[in-house]
Amino acid sequence: MVIKYITLHYDPYEKKFGDGFYPCTTFVKGYESILTGFKNADGCWIQISGDSITGLDGNERNNILKLLNDDVVQSKNILDKHGYLI
């Protein structure tokens, strides 16, 4: 099992609804950040820590997959902490 942690930035207003999470590498004014863990099991990345993500805006899902996937572990699916596809 592979576990990876990435920093996700978020808009505090949108976070209330499970949205607004972005994998940014630079500071964005008005945003906060949270370290979020994912494990790869059964061919899926499964969120294991942080606030539950219920949706990702625009291309952010692909951007998160780029950070999680590597030469050894590849997946096209991300599940939230409750096992739902996001």
Q: Are 75 and 68 in contact (CB under 8 A)?
A: yes
Q: Are 14 and 22 in contact (CB under 8 A)?
A: no
Q: How far apart are CA 55 and CA 58, in angstroms?
A: 10
Question: Is 1 strand, coil or helix?
Answer: coil
Domain definitions of the chain by residue range: 2-79
pLDDT of residue 70: 92
Residue 74: other Cβ atoms inside 10 A: 12
Per residue in 24-72, pLDDT tens?
Answer: 766 778 888 889 999 999 899 999 998 888 877 777 888 899 999 999 8
Q: What is the mean pLDDT of residues 5-33?
A: 79
The pair phi, psi for residue 59, each rounded to 5°, is: -90, 10
